[in-house]
Each structure stands twice: as C-alpha cells, then as structure tokens.
Amino acid sequence: MTASKSPSAARKPHSIHDQNLVAGQGGDLHLFADGDMPALTTAQGGPVSDDLNTLKVGSRGPALIEDFHFREKIFHFDHERIPERVVHARGYGAHGYFETTKSLSEYTRADIFQRVGEKTPVFVRFSTVAGSKGSFDLARDVRGFAVKIYTKEGNWDLVGNNMPVFFIQDAIRFPDMVHAVKEEPDRAFPQAQSAHDNFWDFISLTPESMHMIMWVMSDRAIPRSFRFMEGFGVHTFRFVSANDESTFVKFIWKPKLGLQSVVWNEAVKINGADPDFHRRDLWTAIQAGDFPEWELCVQLFDQNFANSFDFDVLDPTKLIPEEILEPIPVGRLVLDRMPDNFFAETEQVAFMTQNVPPGIDFSNDPQLQGRNFSYLDTQLKRLGSPNFTHIPINAPKCPFHHFQQDGHMAMRNPVGRANYQPNSWGEGPRPDPGRGFRSFAAEENGQKVLLRPESFADHYSQARQFYLSQTGTEQKHIAMALTFELSKVEAPVIRERMVSHLMNIDANLAATVADKLGMRKMPKAADAAVPVRDDLAPSPALSIIENGPASFKGRKIGVLAANGTDEKALYAIRQAAEQEGAMVELVAPMVGGIETSDGQWNEADHMVDGSPSVLFDAVALVLSEDAANRLTGEATARDFVADAFAHCKFIGFTAGATPLLAKAGIEPDMDEGLIPLDDAKAAPDFVASCRKLRVWAREDAVKL
C-alpha cells in the first residue's frame, strides 16, 4: 500500500517507521498509534488493541458474539441514518466513588486495581426486576445492583443483582423467563408479583431454576433497604495480567451496615403505607450525610480450582461458597450524592455487561455471553440512538477517540478530513495493542452444537445447600413464601409439580408446603438428571440472620409520643440513638407536633394515622398514662403497637404507655424485646438491644 499525498501537499504522511505500519496475518498493513496519535477507544473510552480483525475461534474459526468492539462499531454504523425498560424498570440511583484498598496488579492490568487509595467516580442504580416504573418498592423480587465505574480506561459496568445466582443457565431462555414472571398478557395482572400461574408453570417445568427459587422465596427478596443488602456480579469473569495470564474472578459487594430484611406481612403493609420506602430510605440517608458503603470482595481461583470444584463455574445457577473460597476485600464503594435530575441520570443511565476495561475479560458462561449482546441492543432501542453514550451519565470521564459519527442525537462528531482509519492524512486515533483491550487467548475446540454441558445438570444440590444454610426462622419464611405464592396458582398440576421439585431439596419443606396447600397426597419426587447430593456442608454466609449488623447504626426508631410526654425520656432516646448512629423520628396524634411535660414544643415527623410501625426498625412508646388511655381509642395507635410486636421488633415503653400495650394484647414482661424506659439510663440499653433487630423467638407465639 502506497500512501497518496494530500491534494494541497500541505500534509505529508509519516514515515512507515513513525506510523508503525506492520504486516497483519491477512497481508494487510496495520497502522498503530505512536506518540503523536491518541489511542483508538470505544465510545465508552476503553482503549482498542485491534480495529481490523474480529474476535474468532482460531484464525479461520467462527466469529465470537463477545467481540464488543466489533458489535459497538457495526451497531453504530447500522444506526447512523436515522421506550420504559422491560425489566428493572423501577430503579433508584446515586453517585459516589470507589476507593481501591488492595492492589491486584499481580492478577490484572485493569488500571482501577493498581493504586491503593485512589478514588474513582461511580453511579449505582438499584432496581426491582418484574414490576413497572409505577410499582411498589417492597415486591418479593430480585434487586438489581448495577455499578457504573468511570475508570481511566473507560467505563466498567458491573451489572449484578442482590442474589449470586440466576433462574436460567442460557440466555436464550431469558425472554421466556421474563414473559412468564411479568403480568399475564390476557389480563395484564398481577403487577410486580410472581404469585400467578404463568410464572410457576415456567418454573415447575424448569428444574435449573430451583436454586434461584430458594433465594427468591427467602428474605433476600424483601430487603429492608438497599443499604442493607449484598450485591453480586453473578457470573465468573476473568482477570488478565500484564503478562496475559488469566485468573477467574467472582465479584461480591458486602454492605458495611450488615444484612437486614423485612418479613412478608411487614412488606405488604409497607407497600400500602409507603410504596417508595426504599427510595426514601436511600434519599434520607444520603441527605443526612449517613453515606451508604459496601466493600468489594473478590473470589480468585485458577483453572485447577475450577476443575476440582463440585460444580461448573460457568453455570450461573451455581455459586462458590465463601467457606470454600474466601472473598478478599479489595475496595470500598461509597454513595454520597443524589442525582440532580432523576430522568437525566437514573432513568437514562445505560448499563452493559460488555463494558469492561483492559484487564477484565469474560468467561464462557452462556448467560453472560448472551447478556453481552442483549444489553447493547436494549439501550439502542430504549434510548433511541446509538449515540446514547453522548448523554452525560453514560459518557466516560476519561479521554475517548473514535470515528463513530452522525445518527440521531449526535452531540459531537470527528473533527477533520478523515473519518476512517487507516488514513494517509495523519489524522485521528489508531489502535494501541499495548494499552488496548485484549481477550485472553484461551484455546477453544469442539463441534458447533446446540447443547447444554453435562456439568450443568445438577439442579437441586445447591438449592438444598442454600435451604439447609438458613436458620430455622429463615427456613420457616421460605416455606411461608412458597405456600403464599403457590396458593395463588389456580392449576393443581402446577402446584403438584413444584412440590415434587421441593422433595429433591428437603422432604420436610415439601411436606410443610403440601400440608399448607391442602394437598391430599404427596407427589413422587421429580426426576433428577443426576443424583442429589446430601453431603454439601451448610454455608453460614448464605444466612441473613447469621450476618446481621454489629450495631444499630443506620436504622430508625419510631417514637410514639403525645402531649404531656416526659421530655427527659424523649431526650434520652434521641441522645442514645445519636450516639449509636441511628435515627429517631417522632410520631404523634397530629402531624403538627406535641408539647412535652416541660412545656416545650416538638415538631412531629409523622402522624400516627398514616405512619405505621412497619416504617421503623424499632419503636418506643413515650407516653403519659392520660395520653395512652386516649390513644387506646385510636385503631391506628393500637395497630402501631400490635404490628411492632407481631413483627418481632424491640419495643421500649414508659410506665404510662402500659394501657396502650394492654389494648394491643401485650403484657409488659412477655419477652426480652419489651424494655421499660422510665429510668433515663435505660435508653442506651434499649438502643443496644435493638442491635439484634428482631426478637425471633416471639414469632412462634405471634403466628402471623
């Protein structure tokens, strides 16, 4: 190839040496970046190593769908001439930063993991999966936990959930799974619920979903707050070092405030009292300067570990127990700023699993491979243009250079004569094989087949392990959730199929659900593709109760007070909560406020008629006897106390509040969760007791 001169002769091509022209495998000449040229990047800002060849299996093999640079380039070209999310529609986001706390330079050349103490801006979007934008926050559902990290080498989107596994093993089943869980098409309900025939019909015909079903029927599906839930990358990824050595990695976000969920009866009432409960919680915490924080942990392993592990690490319905492979803390995520405009940022943010910086690569997980294709296609449809990266929330914060042009909503175009490469004018970016993204050169062989690997065939063993890893209280909640969901299923054959699957997970669980459903006889256990293992050790890390908080920090106490309330008792609770890092909100008969016994006026945060105790983590009844007697005639006040007791919360009370306790059917000495507050020194003890969050021993007596 001979470079022609510019017609004006004002611009001369560089020498071959300067341009770094080298022969490619196909005989073409590759033009690589040198010191005078910026590195070619994707629209996300990630450096590109090769712009002339698609990624394929061998030099003559089939092209791979995971070649995100090719797909971005061709999709943008396809849309040069020129709706609500299908899933994860209801979301809420916040800005913050990621701080690297451990260098991983031994394992990955990803820039973000090179320097301890460096902070990188992030945007995080939490979401529910099944409901529409207008649905409620406390649906029993998976929660999206999507993190966009604006690294110096392009955007990294760690698009995960609050559960480490998924319903299906191959992305081709995703449309069917989503269609089944969404509202039934002939009637357009139920909304944001899985308790209907279509969902359980699909699940009962899909044994690979059983592990995920245990998670979704557990309390993990009804978190108390975004701030109190874990996040998982779900899939197995690769770290690639500067020496092109590969290490498998799984990502886990662990909340600094510990794990916490609500109970189902509580969730139902929260949805009625405050359908924006999770949104309000995140907003309030950040506005108060109580910034939510998570620790990023990684599980690192090599091919030998993968070969020796009991299950296939490429199967997204499986996890690696933390007791087998301990997560290593490598950074922290802090959310410290809400968006300036919800639509511009939280609604328009576009996450894609394909967005990874050099040094992070994909595994052959078939669900991940499909997501890498689907997410880009989704954003093009939803945001109306391949130029969605021009929207500020999606734009990388590092320098970026490419030849993508025109199209709907183009805010910037390449400058100069050349809008292609290679070119003779010395214009524009060039690929940088040193800095650019390189896929790990894993050897692949075998026939092209439409087949699921045999190593994916065990659908029950980890589901059983998860169930046995729960405390007795949590196991009871799973049984209650399954009973409720299946009671909404009209077709008996679907209920029977589900119980037959439960037989392979735990016989007592299956018997409990069958009994509650009124089944007259037990079905035989579903056929298992491989024998169910009963030798997997329970994993305490899978229990919420076993991984609760060490303090009551970040939680909220609702104080029910009225005119005549003892100001010393009220002050003592506020002071004790403040020292703990907890919040106190005053609930009064009228929203205007109350006058305490010393004549001081106290503004109320809530009116008892409209702010039930389900909105708080613990309650305190700071009342005079006259006020308590008056409140016994108010149904909402009685429910405030009765629900707090039924939901196993700690209840502090002054002596004057006993008439209201009695009206709710509660004796002051019924259990350890009822704590007198008449001694001013009792307030710190009450707040300290609240660290346990619940008095679970009370649940059997309440029998919700």
Q: Cite the active site residues.
A: 88, 161
Pick left, alpha or beta for residue 577 (phi over 0 → left; psi -120 to 50 → alpha; otherwise beta). alpha
Cα–Cα distance measured from residue 115 to residue 365, given in angstroms and rounded to the nearest whole number: 30
362 forms bridges with which residues in the sheet? 237
Distance in angstroms (rounded) separating the CA atoms of residues 21 and 13: 12
Q: Which residues contact 533 (CB under 8 A, 6 or more apart)?
A: 310, 458, 461, 464
Cα 302 to Cα 316: distance, rounded to the nearest angstrom: 18
CA 612 to centroid of chain Cα atoms: 28
Q: What would the two tokens of residue 241 be?
A: 């070092």
E strand or H helix at 154, and its extent?
strand 154-161
Report the DSSP beta bridge partners of residue 99.
119, 332
Q: Is the dihedral of CA 210, 214, 216, 220 positive or negative?
A: negative
Give the pairing of strands 91-100 and 29-31: unpaired
- Alpha-carbon distance of 565 to 596, in angstroms, equals 5
Taking the CA atoms of 11, 15, 20 and 22 in sequence, report the sign of the dihedral they define.
positive
Query: Helical H runs in 388-545?
Result: 461-468, 472-487, 492-505, 507-516
Distances, alpha carbon 422 to alpha carbons 3, 16, 171, in Å: 10, 13, 36
- Residue 361 contacts residue 372 (beta carbons within 8 Å): no
Q: What's the angle, vertex CA 437, arms to CA 433 and CA 441, rounded to 5? A: 90
Amino acid identity of 628? A
Q: Please answer whether residues 371 and 123 qualify as being in contact, where contact means their C-beta atoms are separated by less than 8 angstroms.
A: no
Strands 119-128 and 328-337: unpaired
CA dist., res. 251 & res. 231, Å (int): 8
